[in-house]
Amino acid sequence: MTLPLFRPFRRMRWLAASGIVALLLILAAAAGWIVYASWVERTPYFHDNFARGSGELYRRSWQAFGGTWQVVNGEMQNIADDRGAKLMNGYLRWRNYIVEGDVQLLGETGDAGFVLRASQEEVGVDSYHGYFAGLRDLDDTLILGRADYGWHEFRAIPFHTGVITGAWYHLKMIAYGCTIAASATAPDGETVIASVKDPQCIEEGRFGLQSYSTGAVWRNISVRPAAQADLKAIIGSQPPAGPEEPPLVPPITDLAAYQRDTAPMRRELSRHRTDLHAAPISSLRLLSPNAASRVTLEGVVTLVSPVLYVQDASGGIAIPHAQLNEPIQIGDAVEATGDAELHGFSSVLRSAAIKRLWSHASVPPVAVNAAQAASGAFDAQFIETEGRLESEEQTDLHSIVFRLSSGSQSFEAVAENPSPAATTPALAVGSLIRLRGICVADRRYTRGQIPFAMLLRSVEDVEVLEPPPWWSKQHIAESIVVLLALSFLLQMGYASMKRARLRAVIEERERLALDMHDTLSQSFAGLAFQIEGLCEEASPGSPMREELHSTLDLVRFLHTESRRNIAALRPYNLEKLGLAKALEQAAQMVVQNGSILVTMSVRGVPRPLPLRISDSLFRIGQEAIANAVRHAHPRHIHLQLTFGRPSLKLAVRDDGAGFSPDSDASGFGLRGMRQRADSLAATLRIHSSPGNGTLVTVRTRLPRSLFSTSWRRSKLNSNWRTWLHGKTV
């Protein structure tokens, strides 16, 4: 049986044991997380098939350096032909691993593939340290090389059947020790292998996707650890050559047969043609608005997704649900044939067949302001404008909406299929930003609420020009809060300083009282003792004895007055005793060994008082008691403290001789009492007349806390509502 006395100790032991167990669990979880994070950083495992809802954790870890990246239909696409666009992932501590996936080129003069063991990536051509292997359409080769902020090509192994734009190739790249190898398999089954042994190799780094001077598409990307067996499975028993040794390439023995076999799969590098019957896009405004007209036009692709937009020197046009015979990218010159429909500010080409003419014909944006864009004159065209960001919202996994304003114009910018890489600039509300995109007045995007919207190719088309001004609503609110906090702290500091000063005054009074007690009071006592001795030596009835008795009475009176002055100076520890007890003790000391009766009463609910108020009231009461004892010779002195809700009242009543307050108005004691009352903004009243005693009252307001004030108001309101309800019933 456990005694009740020991139950708290049992609870404490149980709480301590629970705390220790919780701490151990937290430490174990932290250690497990550290071990797991270290394992992830060292062990190359990765897979992403770019399907919606799959691999979102991997998706967020991509980091883009240039390019226009988007995920469409389970494929990662770079639809811009930037020079050296990179999309990176993985960890810098990955060493021996294989990257594998499918690659498709969209252009005819560039290359695309995988990056391994990369670090220190930046935007720009070959701006990183690492290895690259990819397909190059210009000379139909599998290339392998190293980038060190410059390109050093190790191998360029040709395909007998060529590299076909728009066809899927299975590309595999491995890094094991200082051996780097790659293999690419064409749609017809042809496999090309390139390998190299780099004596001064890069030993670790992350992986990525890269395209140069072309758009490209990737799918089914996977990374796994590599072993010696994996390297042999790719390069066979042939040892890899050094960086400067020529590769072993199977020669083309029959050029005629090679040309005959590859003719159906190869394309001409130059496909430029001019259709004399192609109509300028602006001329479509002259067509009949009541019927669709079959037209052919030529232009440059300015946007691929979510709608294909084509622009020429005269204007732009939207081509929804275009029929594509081959993949296209931004910057491709195309020929489009379809049914033109006249819309509010521009035309739309329906059921259009698209034929690519050539690549690398990018259109620069037209710099306009928001008012010009709102006029509709630049509908369906690639523009550049500026605005203040009001809000940013990600509607789903495939759309980001920026709401902006410029002057009196409001508009929106929409980034469909945004890049999965975390490269969105840090956009704070109120920032001045510059955007590049397609200006559209379609109600699908404006919803009849804004004059125009912009379709961004990617979030990389957003550039921050200026941070938000410091006088934003949030900053103003924060400044007000800080100022209020500072004013509160200053008020507390001022009150603390006044309290410290008052405490110093009280301590000085205490010191003076002790000094007077040790010097003046003791001297009067000693002097009285000596005079008494002289009186005893003097002969009875002699004039000397009478003079000594008179002197002794004077010394005794001075001794009594000194004790009263000492009692007036001592603070009686107001903070510990309280005002009522301190006043009562002070009065008892003044009338000590006398016949005056002192009583004390307290009304209301006592509560702690500020030292400034309690000290001033104590001095006023002390002076009133001393005046009554000195001048009125009362038989009874009554002290009363009344605590009210808003105020405190002190009353000192005696039944002595009384006096006329007007006749003694200039007395030092009364002036001191009035000055102390004025320092508290208190009301001092003196009621007295000869023969009727004296009543001194002082009333002052007490400081109230916000909580008590609010509680009282709510209680009063509740009582008022109850009273009203009772009256109405």
Q: What is the pLDDT of residues 56-94, one digit of tens each?
A: 444 557 888 888 888 888 889 888 877 789 999 999 999
- For 539-567, b/e burial (b = at least 16 CB within 10 A) is eeeeeebeebeeebeebbebbbebbbebb
Please tell me the class of the 579-729 domain.
alpha beta
Q: Place domain 366-466 in its CATH homologous superfamily.
A: Nucleic acid-binding proteins (2.40.50.140)
Domain range 281-358, CATH class: mainly beta
Average pLDDT over residues 371-390: 91
DSSP 179-238: EEEEEEE-TTS-EEEEEEE-TT-----EEEEEEESS-EEEEEEEEEE--HHHHHHHHTTS
**Which 8-state DSSP code applies to residue 519?**
I
In one-letter notation, the amino acid at residue 260 is R
pLDDT at residue 278, rounded to an integer: 75
Residues near 97 by Cβ (< 8 Å), separated by ≥ 6? 44, 116, 174, 175, 207, 223, 224, 225, 226
Residue 42's pLDDT band (cuts 50, 70, 90): confident
How confident is the model over 220-244, as pLDDT tens digits? 999 999 999 999 999 886 677 777 6
Q: Per-residue pLDDT tens for 300-353?
A: 999 988 899 999 988 899 999 888 878 888 888 999 999 888 877 788 998 899
Query: Do 420 and 60 contact (CB within 8 A), yes or no?
Result: yes
Nearest to 316 by CA among 213, 454, 447: 454
φ/ψ of residue 132, rounded to 5:
-135, 140
Check residues 461 and 541 and name the one with the higher pLDDT.
461
Amino acid at 259: Q
What are the sequence ranges of the domains in the chain? 46-241, 281-358, 366-466, 470-570, 579-729
CA 353 to chain centre: 50
C-alpha separations of 630 from 425, 621, 657, 671 in Å? 85, 14, 11, 17
Categorize the per-residue pLDDT at 275 as very low, low, confident or very high, splitting at 50, 70 and 90.
very low
Residue with tokens 């007690």: 517
Tokens of 29: 């979880």
Identical fold for domains 281-358 and 579-729, yes or no, is: no
Residue 226 contacts residue 175 (beta carbons within 8 Å): yes
CATH number of the structural domain 46-241:
2.60.120.560
CA distance 698 to 680: 10
Q: How far apart are CA 416 and CA 69, in angstroms?
A: 11
640-688 confidence digits (pLDDT tens): 999 987 889 999 999 988 888 776 545 677 888 888 888 888 999 999 8
**For residues 556-560, average pLDDT:** 72
CA distance 262 to 188: 11
Q: Given a cut of 90, is residue 638 above it in pLDDT?
A: yes
Dist CA 588 CA 622 (whole Å): 11
**173 vs 139, higher pLDDT:** 173
Bridging pattern class, strands 597-603 and 636-643: parallel
Interatomic CA distance for residues 299 and 274, integer angstroms: 11
Of 10-19, 179-188, 300-309, the poorest mean pLDDT is in: 10-19
